[in-house]
Amino acid sequence: MILTNTTNYFAQLIDYLFEQMGLGGQILGYVIVAAIYLTFFAVAGLLLVYVERRVAAFFQLRLGPNRVGPWGLLQTIADALKLLAKEITGTERKDKLLYHAAYFLVIPAALIGLSVIPFSNGVQAYDLNIGVFFISAVSSVGVLGILFGGWGSNNKYSLIGGMRSGLQMISYELSAGLAILTIILMAGSLQMSEIINQQKDLWFIVKGHIPALIAFVIFVIAGTAESNRTPFDLPEGEAELGAGFHSEYSGMGFAYFFLAEFINMFIISAVAVTLFFGGWLAPFGITDSLPWQPLWGAVWFFVKVSGMIFLLMWFRWTFPRLRIDQLLTLEWKYLLPVGLLNIVLMAILVYYNIIL
């Protein structure tokens, strides 16, 4: 299932260490790759929290973090240290197994999803030939952590939040899957690197005409819902549920859920960039003749992802939270029928070779 890619720098590192040190070198290579991704996971989470606060301040005409460190850059580190120092408490009536298993599910699910994201040409832990399907499957595991947390807390508000999350995930996964299938029809492949390579002449958001644009809009809406972010943050619902599924979590237990939400936002943005905007490819090939192409590819990838993240943050600080009936109406009466019609339209365009 895993395709060997000779341009994959992580694979080259592991192969080199295996040749030099045997099985021990191979294990060391995997540990190094895991350490790189864990470091990126932590740094990206802290940075996104800081950016979220700055974006919120921008939309609300205030300053945001500006006291701890230059420009408030150390504020999120101070908050992380505070959470580390806090005692992990919870209700005495909790189901200990499910309660503690919850945050040990949301973090690995997000981390495994990162492993198949192509940050640049050859900068990818695993280049699976079912990469898009793999991310969709792994992202579904994260909701189990929320369900476990809601049920294991033995709190009625946590339980309601957990049930809402399960309902929301099951509903909007259908539309997200249809949007992804629309692009797969064009690409003819589930491999993320291959999907990017087919956009060298023109990005799919342009090449796919109106169906690709509709698929992008559906994917962004469904992705926002799957990450439990406003206006789809009903599983937390501070106004009516206190803090929803993580009401009974404190310290690092709460921090794990908080961090996973921001990494999931990054993954959704990265998948959108890969499927619709050419991943690491530069617009109009303006940097293709420059040296250090993997570095330039990473630069363009993160520029595009940053734009997508800003869009998702814009949603959060602009739209009010939906009611549960409005959330389900949007999915089952509008997004799902439109997604089904859109995939049929894309199939017609592909069959008659009307793609640009």
Q: What is the pLDDT of residues 216-274, one digit of tens each?
A: 999 999 999 988 888 888 877 666 666 677 778 888 888 888 888 899 999 999 999 99
In a domain, 51, yes or no: no
In a domain, 288, yes or no: yes
- Cβ atoms within 10 Å of 163's Cβ, excluding its own: 16
In a domain, 37, yes or no: no
Residue type, 43: V
In a domain, 82, yes or no: no
- Return the structure tokens found at 90: 């919870």
In a domain, 59, yes or no: no
For residues 89 and 219, the model is more confident at 219
- Whole-angstrom Cα distance, residue 168 to residue 180? 18
DSSP-derived letter for residue 128 is: B
Q: At what angle do helices 23-59 and 251-276 cross, to 10 degrees?
A: 90
Residue 348 has pLDDT above 90, yes or no: yes
Mean pLDDT over all residues of the chain?
Answer: 88
Chain centroid, CA 148 distance in Å: 20
Residue 205 has pLDDT above 70, yes or no: yes
Among 69-83, 85-99, 244-258, the range of highest mean pLDDT: 69-83
As beta bridge partners, residue 123 has 120
* pTM (predicted TM-score): 0.92
pLDDT of res. 204: 94
Residue 1 has pLDDT above 60, yes or no: no
**ω into residue 211 within 30 of 0, thus cis?**
no
CB proximity list for 10: less than 8 A, separation 6 or greater: 29, 33, 123, 124, 125
pLDDT of res. 30: 92
Of 221, 209, 322, nearest to 276 (Cα)? 209
Q: How confident is the model at residue 356 (pLDDT cuts 50, 70, 90)?
A: low
Are the beta carbons of 266 and 305 closer than 8 angstroms? yes
In a domain, 261, yes or no: yes
pLDDT in tens, 184-198: 999 989 999 999 999
- Whole-angstrom Cα distance, residue 257 to residue 353? 45
* Residue numbers of the domain that contains 160: 89-351
As beta bridge partners, residue 128 has 2
- Whole-angstrom Cα distance, residue 200 to residue 299? 17
CB proximity list for 34: less than 8 A, separation 6 or greater: none
Of 250, 183, 248, 191, nearest to 214 (Cα)? 183
Task: List, in sequence order, the alpha helices (H) in 92-242.
Answer: 96-114, 131-152, 156-187, 192-197, 204-207, 209-226, 238-241
Quick one: 225 exposed, middle or buried, by C-beta within 10 A (0-12, 13-18, 19+)? buried
pLDDT of res. 218: 96
| DSSP assignment of 41-96 | HHHHHHHHHHHHHHHHHHHTTS--S-SSSGGGTTHHHHHHHHHHHS-----TTS-H
- Whole-angstrom Cα distance, residue 139 to residue 309? 18
Q: How many domains does the chain have?
A: 1
Residue 278 has pLDDT above 60, yes or no: yes
| DSSP assignment of 217-271 | HHHHHHHHHHTT-TTS-TTT-HHHHTTGGGTT--HHHHHHHHHHHHHHHHHHHHH
